[in-house]
Amino acid sequence: MNSEKVDTALAILEKQLNQPLAAALEVCARCGICAEACHYYVAEPTPEHIPAARAEELRKVYRAEHDFLSRIFPAWTGAERLTEEKLAQFAQIAFDKCTLCYRCTANCPMGVDTPLLMSTLRAMATATGNAPEILEMLADAAIEKGRDPEIYLEFFKDSILDMEQELQALTGDPEARIPLQKKGAKMLYVALAGAHTILPAAAIFETAGEDWTLSIYEAANYGIFLGDASRAKEIARRIVDEARELGVEEIVISECGHAYYAMRWLAPNWFGEEFTFRVRSIVEVLADYIQQGKLQLDPSANPEPITYHDSCNLGRKGGVLAEPRIILNAATTQFMEMTPNREEAYCCGGGAGLVALPEAAELRMLGGKPKADQVRASGARVVAAACENCRLQLGDLSCHYGLGVGVVALADLVVRAMRLPGAKESIEERMTAEAVAAKGN
């Protein structure tokens, strides 16, 4: 007799059991060739960190439910019935020990989609109250905000007015504005919380003569970290509805890996339709501006040796691989690649919500070790990353492993290279500030 929690978790498994999931559950030959693809394994080469071993935890339960031989001789196939203890263990495996980076899948001869299995584990853990509380709170807060945006809209408008003054000082243009809820604008820009993803973008859009408006919502979508498609859809719905109401041609997502991945690649499936508007990352927009000559950049404004960290959600899972290089080659003088890079890049270890979990801080530093080693080996003094979570993690890694590197966003580098009259802060000051901020975390 199963407990209610176990029944709920098994019902989630059955509900999510489609062809891609069934294939991922059935096809693994347990060859273990995926081991070195995982940053956890590279940092600590023990069998528990092999992606196939993590996935095996779900397979054991699946076999116990679905496999003839496993029902008769469970020990023969390693099948195990789901228990409440196992559910708690699932949560730890899926939330703390996997960042859904897809590197194991890309390295698997079978193409086993282990992140899909880990997302299923996350969904099972979430449905049974085993998910990290902070992720649940952040997801629910975002949904609540969408239900009644008026509550905070006035405050948001006030903060935008303050930011406009900063923008005017930065651009030297007293007419520079941050348009909000502008009907008929071509582009809806969805930023993250805080001015740091709004101001640089606003300065660039103003200079490029873009017809844009700022979203009243934040891009982050904690629903996907929970493996909870219904919550993720609710969070995305706020932005989709806003885009429809304003009649924009495209949604542009701030430098945020998971937000881009969610809105660009997952949301159309949640809504069951092709959107009438385009979804792009600001990284793609910046690369377009550069290629179209809309921005005049002086790369000598960024003279330090700089390397680029490919966010898994933007790169290997999102296809934004060439664009960051276009930006870096135009905005800096000493861009150097880490090895490996692009679709083979290591995860920084902070993805899939891990950076938000204080209880996983130690594991996060462990998982980030391969990336830290890569950064050190590159010889760069600055690491650019187009994802907020990656930047936070890279800052922490710099402190933890004594890398002494600064961490910047691509838009920051572009703004520096635009040589705006108000851009007085030097890159060294910014690096110091980022490093101090990271230490504070």
Partner 1 sequence: MERILFLQILAGAAFVFSLLAFAGRLRAFNRLARPADRAVPKGSPRAGLIYAYTLGMAPWAKESTRLHTIAYLRGVAFHLGIFLGLGILLASPWLGQLPPAWRSLLAIGAGLGALLGLAGFAARLLERNLKALSTPDDYAAVLAVSLFLAGASLWLFVPAALPFFYLASAAMLVYAPFSKIRHCIYYAYSRMFFGKFVGIRAVLPHSQQGLR
Q: Which residue ranges make up the site for partner 1 (CB under 8 A)?
A: 17-20, 22-24, 26-37, 47, 50, 52-53, 56, 67-69, 75-78, 105-113, 264-269, 271-275, 278, 315-319, 321-322, 340, 342-344
Cβ of residue 349: shortest distance to partner 1, in angstroms? 18
Cβ of residue 151: shortest distance to partner 1, in angstroms? 32
Cβ of residue 375: shortest distance to partner 1, in angstroms? 18
Q: Residue 127 corresponds to which amino acid?
A: A
Cβ of residue 158: shortest distance to partner 1, in angstroms? 36
342 backbone φψ class: left, alpha, beta (φ>0; ψ -120 to 50): left
- In the complex with partner 1, the residue whose CB is nearer, 67 or 166, is 67
- In the complex with partner 1, the residue whose CB is nearer, 77 or 333, is 77
Cβ of residue 291: shortest distance to partner 1, in angstroms? 12
- In the complex with partner 1, the residue whose CB is nearer, 214 or 266, is 266
Give how far Cα 202 sits from Cα of 197, 242, 253, 410, Å: 9, 19, 13, 14
Strand ranges (E), 305-391: 305-309, 334-336, 382-385
- In the complex with partner 1, the residue whose CB is nearer, 335 or 346, is 346
Cβ of residue 108: shortest distance to partner 1, in angstroms? 7
- In the complex with partner 1, the residue whose CB is nearer, 188 or 382, is 188
User: Do 333 and 360 touch, CB atoms closer than 8 A?
Assistant: no
The C-alpha atoms of residue 24 and residue 105 are separated, in whole angstroms, by 10
- In the complex with partner 1, the residue whose CB is nearer, 269 or 426, is 269
Mapping DSSP to helix (H, G, I), strand (E, B) and coil, where does residue 308 land?
Answer: strand
The C-alpha atoms of residue 41 and residue 204 are separated, in whole angstroms, by 41
- In the complex with partner 1, the residue whose CB is nearer, 2 or 329, is 329
Question: Which of 181, 237, 236, 238 minimizes the C-alpha distance to 212?
Answer: 181
Cβ of residue 53: shortest distance to partner 1, in angstroms? 6
Cβ of residue 205: shortest distance to partner 1, in angstroms? 22
- Dig out the tokens for 208 from the structure: 């490029």
- In the complex with partner 1, the residue whose CB is nearer, 156 or 265, is 265
Cβ of residue 26: shortest distance to partner 1, in angstroms? 4
Other beta carbons within 10 angstroms of residue 258's beta carbon come to 28
The C-alpha atoms of residue 233 and residue 336 are separated, in whole angstroms, by 38
For 61, residues 6+ apart whose C-beta sits below 8 A from its C-beta are 10, 13, 79, 80, 81, 82, 86
- In the complex with partner 1, the residue whose CB is nearer, 32 or 422, is 32
Cβ of residue 69: shortest distance to partner 1, in angstroms? 4
User: Do 139 and 235 touch, CB atoms closer than 8 A?
Assistant: yes
User: Do 48 and 363 touch, CB atoms closer than 8 A?
Assistant: no
The DSSP annotation for 25-43 comes to: HH------TTGGGSHHHHH
User: Do 258 and 318 touch, CB atoms closer than 8 A?
Assistant: no
- In the complex with partner 1, the residue whose CB is nearer, 78 or 358, is 78
Whose tokens are 């719905």? That residue is 237
Strand ranges (E), 91-197: 187-190
Mapping DSSP to helix (H, G, I), strand (E, B) and coil, where does residue 76 land?
Answer: helix
Question: Which of 294, 62, 134, 329 minimizes the C-alpha distance to 337?
Answer: 329
